């Protein structure tokens, strides 16, 4: 074994841990120690221990033998064979650690790296920005202009990073993959890891004559004004995606996207729930008792509504289809009005006498 620690101690789980608990612990340790993200010289050793422990404890048969004997018999004794991590090769099977992270946790929305032949292709990072709208603007929809800083492909070298008349060459150390492999022999077999190539810094190429505009980085930072169509009915917290308006990719990678998050300001009259609007209006007890027509504010202007005789406090009137447009384009919500009946605190003698006639 590579460590005097037990495999359970290495993963930080109890001996009776479930498969899900072991997998969860393993993933957390991958994020912590993988050499692609942790540059501590000891991280590679830690990562090897973690993978050795996981390769045994994640396999029911090998775990049973380990629990019984404290080790796993080598090949030929019914035990383990193949590379560490169950024959898993970090470079060939999954690419860089960013690929592993995406596969395990669903990606992070930033720049992504992936191998393509003898080049490392970097997809452009997504960009996020915010805009604020009034409820009326959200009701109508609006074309907004956002100002964003982003990385564009260098116009002088065309994104190659090399000065005009020259071109990059494939890194001889990693053969353009951006990573170098290291192999270790353990009692469990051959274990391989991949780390960032020290010669090219993970780029997969060497630029002897860098472009003077981008200094060999292939991209330059610029500020752009971009028009974005905000659809009618947009809700607070929703986002609008503008494809291809994020940072430029490298080595042929596609550009990221621009995400515009929308904040809708609170309104002094209306409260919103989805596509429905809510408001209240005060009426006198006489209007509630006798009924009448009154004018109320809606999102689309004033509108007359009829108060029926005998209206009770906090009764509601629903104006069908008078709410917010649905973002899907399928109709509009409703406007629900709560009637607040006001009881006067002081009455004139005439009013008091008139009311007493009803007693």
Q: pLDDT of 230-267, one tens digit each?
A: 999 999 999 999 999 999 998 888 999 999 999 999 99
Mark whether 30 and 57 lie in a shared domain.
yes
| d(C-alpha 184, C-alpha 195), whole Å | 14
Domain boundary among 82, 98, 116: 116
Burial of 36 (0-12, 13-18, 19+ CB in 10 A): buried
Mark whether 252 and 275 lie in a shared domain.
no
Q: Please tell me the predicted confidence (pLDDT) of residue 71.
A: 63
Mark whether 108 and 229 lie in a shared domain.
no
Give the predicted TM-score (pTM) of the model: 0.61
Mark whether 91 and 53 lie in a shared domain.
yes
| Mean pLDDT, the chain, whole residue set | 82
Mark whether 258 and 132 lie in a shared domain.
yes
What's the token pair of residue 343?
């009881």
Mark whether 84 and 107 lie in a shared domain.
yes
Helices assigned H by DSSP within the chain: 7-11, 19-33, 43-57, 60-69, 84-87, 97-105, 135-140, 285-290, 349-356
Q: Please tell me the predicted confidence (pLDDT) of residue 328.
A: 83
Domain boundary among 55, 85, 116: 116
Q: Which of 58, 7, 37, 325 is nearest to 193 (CA)?
A: 37
pLDDT category of residue 121 using cuts at 50, 70 and 90: confident
pLDDT category of residue 11 using cuts at 50, 70 and 90: very high
Which of the pair, 24 or 1, is modelled with greater confidence?
Answer: 24
pLDDT of 138 above 90: yes
Which of the pair, 112 or 136, is modelled with greater confidence?
Answer: 136
Mark whether 249 and 275 lie in a shared domain.
no
Mark whether 50 and 66 lie in a shared domain.
yes
Number of domains the chain is built from: 3
Q: 39-61: string of b/e by CB count within 10 Å (b at 16+)?
A: eeeebbebbbbbbbbbbbbbeee
| d(C-alpha 129, C-alpha 142), whole Å | 16
Q: What is the DSSP string of 106-162?
A: ---SS-EEEEETTEEEEEPPPEEEEEEE-HHHHHH-EEEEEEEEEEEE-TTTTTS-B
32-88 pLDDT, tens per residue? 887 666 767 777 788 888 888 888 898 888 888 888 766 655 443 333 333 333 333
Mark whether 112 and 128 lie in a shared domain.
no
Q: Please tell me the predicted confidence (pLDDT) of residue 99.
A: 36
Enclosing domain of residue 337: 271-356
Region class of 201: left (phi > 0), else alpha (psi between -120 and 50), else beta: left
């Amino acid at each position: 074994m590579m460590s005097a620690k037990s495999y359970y101690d290495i993963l930080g789980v109890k001996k009776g841990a479930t498969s899900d608990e072991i997998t969860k612990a393993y993933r957390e340790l991958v994020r912590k120690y993988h050499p692609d993200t942790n540059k501590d010289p000891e991280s590679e050793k830690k990562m090897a221990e973690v993978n050795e422990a996981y390769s045994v404890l994640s396999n029911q048969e090998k775990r049973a033998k380990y629990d019984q004997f404290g080790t796993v018999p080598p090949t030929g004794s019914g035990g383990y064979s193949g590379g560490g991590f169950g024959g898993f090769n970090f470079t060939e099977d999954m690419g860089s650690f960013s690929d592993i992270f995406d596969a395990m946790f669903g990606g992070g929305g930033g720049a992504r790296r992936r191998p393509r032949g003898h080049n490392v292709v970097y997809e452009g990072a997504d960009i996020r920005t915010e805009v604020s709208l009034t409820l009326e603007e959200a009701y109508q929809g609006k074309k907004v202009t956002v100002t964003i800083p982003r990385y564009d492909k260098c116009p002088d070298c065309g994104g190659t990073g090399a000065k005009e008349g020259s071109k990059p060459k494939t890194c001889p150390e990693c053969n353009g993959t951006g990573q170098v492999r290291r192999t270790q022999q353990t009692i469990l077999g051959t274990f391989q890891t991949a780390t960032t190539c020290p010669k090219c810094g993970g780029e997969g190429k060497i630029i002897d004559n860098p472009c003077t505009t981008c200094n060999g980085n292939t991209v330059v930072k610029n500020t752009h004004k971009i028009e974005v169509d905000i659809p009618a009915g947009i809700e607070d917290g929703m986002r609008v995606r503008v494809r291809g308006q994020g940072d430029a990719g490298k080595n042929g990678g596609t550009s990221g996207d621009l995400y515009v998050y929308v904040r809708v300001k609170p309104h002094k009259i209306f409260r919103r729930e989805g596509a429905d609007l809510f408001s209240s209006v005060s009426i006198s007890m006489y209007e509630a008792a006798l009924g009448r027509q009154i004018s109320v504010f809606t999102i689309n202007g004033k509108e007359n509504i009829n108060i029926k005789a005998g209206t009770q406090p906090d009764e509601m009137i629903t104006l069908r289809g008078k709410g917010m447009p649905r973002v899907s384009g399928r109709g509009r919500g409703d406007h629900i009005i709560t009637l607040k009946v006001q009881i006067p605190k002081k009455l004139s003698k005439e009013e008091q006498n008139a009311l007493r006639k009803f007693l």
